[in-house]
Amino acid sequence: MQQSKVVQLPLSPLKSKVLVTQPYVPSLDKYMHYVEKAFDAKWLTNDGPLLKELTDRLKDYLGVKYLLLVSNGTAALQLAYKIKNLTNKTVISTPFTFPATTTALEWQNANIQLSDINKNSWNLDPKVVEKHLTTTKVDAIVPVNIFGMPCDMEAFDKIGSKHNIPIIYDSAQSMLSKFKGKSVLQYGDIHCMSFHATKLFHTVEGGAITFNSKDDYERAKRLINFGIGENGVVEEAGINAKMSELHAAMGLCILDDLPMLIENREKSLTRYHSQLAGAVTLQCSNYDSYTPPMYMPIKFETEDALLNTREQLGHKGYLSRRYFYPKNHKFLNESVRSVLPVSDVISNKILCLPLMHNLSKNHVTNISTIIKQNV
């Protein structure tokens, strides 16, 4: 369908606070175009035609063979951990992430071992992970492509092959990310994605899992539907993690408009990077990668500078957010390692700035000016 029109946020005077992000809402006519199909068919959930259409379009768009739409990103993680049988197993992951990455492991009663992050990419550091593997038997690794920036995918694939352990990616923020010219979804064993309303691509609530194993994919299809097999008989204990037709309808709308959303956010990112160069530290890597315009994170030299800047931004009507703060491992049990030098320092200095499809260049200039005046 035709892309929706964009109405930019008002500049002066600010009629309301500018949020860190804002869910993209397509035109109601566009949404109803898809919803009416579900109403006409009287099919609202349970693998309906809209879900199948969205699945097929996403598989083509992302270049993947085995993709399963689910009710949310946390359910995607729980299913992945169940598929790889991580109950009572030792799993390495990152402390710098949204809590769901590891709290979903807690629900599997996994033995969580946190490993430190790279000081530039803020992702799980494969070199540090390798050191853990020399002294600890590990059953799986869960890296996170934080803020959409890919991990060192090749390094983790090598670790997985060398030690014969699965690599399960929390790709909640990285559906569109690329590593060395290839989709990140081509690496690892399983990728878990979130389609929450605040994401670049969303279904209001929802998520997806991609697999490199057909057997894992087929089992996951049963598990999200109470464990019911094709013959209608429950084959194992499953859950209800299906995506409804109404959520799939929103996904189809967003997919129609995704090129526009990416283009508009890319413009804002380019402006931010240009205006903030030298004033703050930006996330970066030493390998070829593409990070989609999901977030605008910056790192300050000190936590005091962050707090002062956040306060000044708020006075001017611009909200910002300290993502993944306080540190993720504070939510976990006491057995989890708590001394992680790089993560402990960096997590206190990261602030995410407003980024959305309708952010004007004047807003970016105002925000950047306030930051440069306070660092």
Look up the CATH number of the domain holding residue 56: 3.40.640.10
Q: Which residue type occupies 222? A: R
Give the contacts of 175 (CB within 8 A, at least 6 positions apart): 62, 185, 193, 199, 200, 201, 208, 292
For residues 154 and 159, give the distance between their C-alpha atoms in angstroms, rounded to a whole number. 9
Which of 252, 285, 305 represents a domain boundary (last residue)?
252
Q: Are residues 331 and 235 in the same domain?
A: no
Give the whole-angstrom CA distance, residue 323 versus residue 360. 23
- Domain with 213, as residue range(s), is 28-252
Same domain for 101 and 165, yes or no, is yes
105 and 212 assigned to the same domain? yes
Co-location of 39 and 134 in the same domain: yes
CB 268 within 8 A of CB 359: yes
CA nearest to 221, candidates 243, 201, 202: 243
User: Does 262 lie in the same domain as 235?
Assistant: no
- The verdict on 247 and 289 lying in the same domain is no
Q: Show the tokens assigned to 328.
A: 């993720």
On whether both 201 and 317 belong to a single domain, the answer is no
Same domain, 194 and 337: no
Q: Do 186 and 291 belong together in one domain?
A: no
**pLDDT at position 329, please?**
62
CA–CA separation, 31 vs 216, rounded Å?
Answer: 33
Residue 367 lies in a domain: yes
Residue 171 lies in a domain: yes
Q: Which amino acid is at 294?
A: M
The pLDDT score that the predictor gives to residue 33 is 95
Q: What is the mean pLDDT of each run of 10 residues along the chain (375 residues)?
A: 59 70 94 96 95 98 97 97 96 94 93 94 97 93 98 98 97 97 97 97 98 97 93 92 98 97 97 96 96 97 96 96 78 63 93 95 96 93
CATH of the domain at 271: 3.90.1150.10
Q: Yes or no: say if 235 and 244 are a contact pair by the CB < 8 Å rule.
A: no
- Domain edge (last residue) among 219, 235, 252: 252
Q: Is 116 a member of any domain?
A: yes
**Are both 304 and 330 inside the same structural domain?**
yes
Residue 13: per-residue pLDDT: 44
Residue 194: C-alpha distances to residues 208, 252, 255, 260, 289 (Å): 7, 15, 15, 20, 21
Total number of domains constituting the chain: 2
Pick from 330, 299, 328, 354: which is nearest to 11 by CA? Answer: 354
Q: Domain boundary residue among 230, 252, 274? A: 252
Instruction: Please enumerate in sequence order all residues whose Cβ is within 8 A of that of 204, keeping only pairs 6 or more positions apart, or say none.
Output: 23, 197, 247, 250
Q: Which pLDDT belongs to residue 278? A: 93
pLDDT of 118: 97
In a domain, 42, yes or no: yes
Same domain, 185 and 303: no
Residue 18 lies in a domain: no
- Pair of tokens at residue 367: 């925000």
220 shares its domain with 273: no
For the entire predicted model, the pTM comes to 0.93
Q: Answer yes or no: is 292 within a domain.
A: yes
